[in-house]
Amino acid sequence: MSSSTGPATDLDQVIVPAVPPVHLLTGDVPALQVTDRLHRGSQIIGRFETSGMVGFKVSAQGRPLRVTLGLSTDDRSVSGWHTGRTEPAGPGPRFLQIRSQGRLRQCVLLRGKKSHARVAFDLTPEEIPDDGLVCIEALDVTEGDDVSEDLREALKGRVTPDGVAGVRLNKVVFEEPPAVDYDPDTLDGIRCEFYTLISAGGLANLNRQGTRQIRAGMFLVNPALKDRFGSSGRITFRLGTKAEPASLIPATWRRVNSELRWLRHAAKKMVHAAAPSVERVFSLRDGDLGTPEVSVRGNVTELTVPSPASSPLLVMLAPVPGAVPTLECGIQG
């Protein structure tokens, strides 16, 4: 870990704090004062070797802060990337905890070689010390003291080990929380993830709206930002199914009839497809929450959960043969 310590002299570099609102996009900024297992970048903040931490000096001046992070994976996001002895990433999604000032804030699932995620949380003035140092940690789900052992046991074999290895920290934004946020009653699945209320494997195409496929077989429900969607006490998630696509073999005219037959078969199958089944709901801190509150109508399942205040929830779904579970929307209240 590197940091600025010891007595100051006239030859020391002047520490210039980040003054909100500010977008930090490189690891060369003077405000980045602490790095632990993070390699600084020139076009990104940096890349984590494994679970690690960054610390920024921020001139909050007694005001609350909203902190937004941009994370992503690429071909170098594997264990040992920094030594040249790389190991293939596991088949499951990465499960990351994001902590700040010693507290768990949100969690993220990243699925696939090229996935992106947003994290957003607020810090109160009391959580920001006089020296303005804001610390942000990225930890694998297997680490830390306040994650339920029941949850860790349920995740064995379903998530990639050493999930933070090689993850890129693309940017960090510090700003004051807006006075009033747009707060709809219903939010489609894709926007639920963009708002950081859920994490299901990485941000979908943000030019689209609609359902969010849940190919990881699980999704996270994060504590909602103050006065944002999901902060009213209870959230109902409407879950559906989508037929698996046809084989991605280049289409030819000789295959057109078989493709059309497959589409007709898939449509009939989806009419009779079973609704998604919620296996278990966990609090990261408290473990299994017992029998989930669900209602089923046709091939749609509605899951109602309490809006998490401090500890994210993990929703685990049973496989649906020949179909992919989807999140159609979230409804608050």
pLDDT digits (tens, 9 = 90+) for 215-268: 999 999 999 988 888 888 899 999 999 987 655 445 554 455 555 555 555 444
Q: Cα–Cα distance between 116 and 170 in angstroms, integer?
A: 10
Q: Considering only CA atoms, which of 246, 240, 243 is closest in space to residue 317?
A: 240
User: Which residues lie across from 134 on neighbouring strands?
Assistant: 56
Higher pLDDT, 271 or 187: 187
The tens digit of pLDDT for each residue in 126-183 reads 999 999 999 999 999 999 888 999 999 999 999 999 999 999 999 999 999 987 666 6
CA distance 229 to 274: 29
Cβ atoms of 148 and 155 closer than 8 Å = no
Query: Residue 272's pLDDT is what?
Result: 45
Summary mean pLDDT of the chain: 89
Kindly give the residue spans of alpha helices, DSSP state H, lying in 195-332: 256-271
The tens digit of pLDDT for each residue in 12-46 reads 566 889 999 999 999 999 999 999 999 999 999 99
Q: Please give the full DSSP string across 215-255, using - where no structure is assigned.
A: TTSEEEEPPPPTTSTTTTSEEEEEEEEEEPPPP-PPP-GGG
Report the candidate in 64, 280, 313, 65 with the shortest Cα–Cα distance to residue 197: 313
Q: Rounded to an integer, what distance in angstroms lies between the CA atom of residue 298 and that of residue 301? A: 8
Over range 73-97, report the average pLDDT. 93
pLDDT of residue 54: 98
pLDDT value, residue 269: 47
Amino acid at 29: V
End-to-end CA distance of the chain: 44
Question: So what's the pLDDT on residue 5?
Answer: 46
What is the pairing mode between strands 32-40 and 133-140? unpaired
Q: What are phi and psi of 257, to 5 degrees?
A: -65, -40
Distances (CA, A) of 142 to 50, 90, 96, 236, 284: 12, 15, 9, 29, 11
Q: Rounded to an integer, what distance in angstroms lies between the CA atom of residue 50 and that of residue 165? A: 4
Coil vs helix vs strand at 62 = coil
How far apart, in whole angstroms, are the C-alpha atoms of residue 121 and residue 67? 5
Taking CA atoms, 97 is separated from 163, 196, 312, in Å, by 10, 13, 10
Of the candidate ranges 72-76, 129-133, 182-186, 297-301, the one whose mean pLDDT is the lowest: 182-186
Instruction: Work out whether the CA dihedral 289, 295, 299, 300 comes out positive or negative.
Output: negative
Which element (helix H / strand E) includes 192? helix 189-194
- Cα–Cα distance between 10 and 151 in angstroms, integer? 52
Q: Which two tokens stand for residue 307?
A: 């809006």
Reported pTM = 0.88
Strand partners, 70: 118, 171
What's the rounded Cα separation, in Å, for the pair 194 and 291? Answer: 28
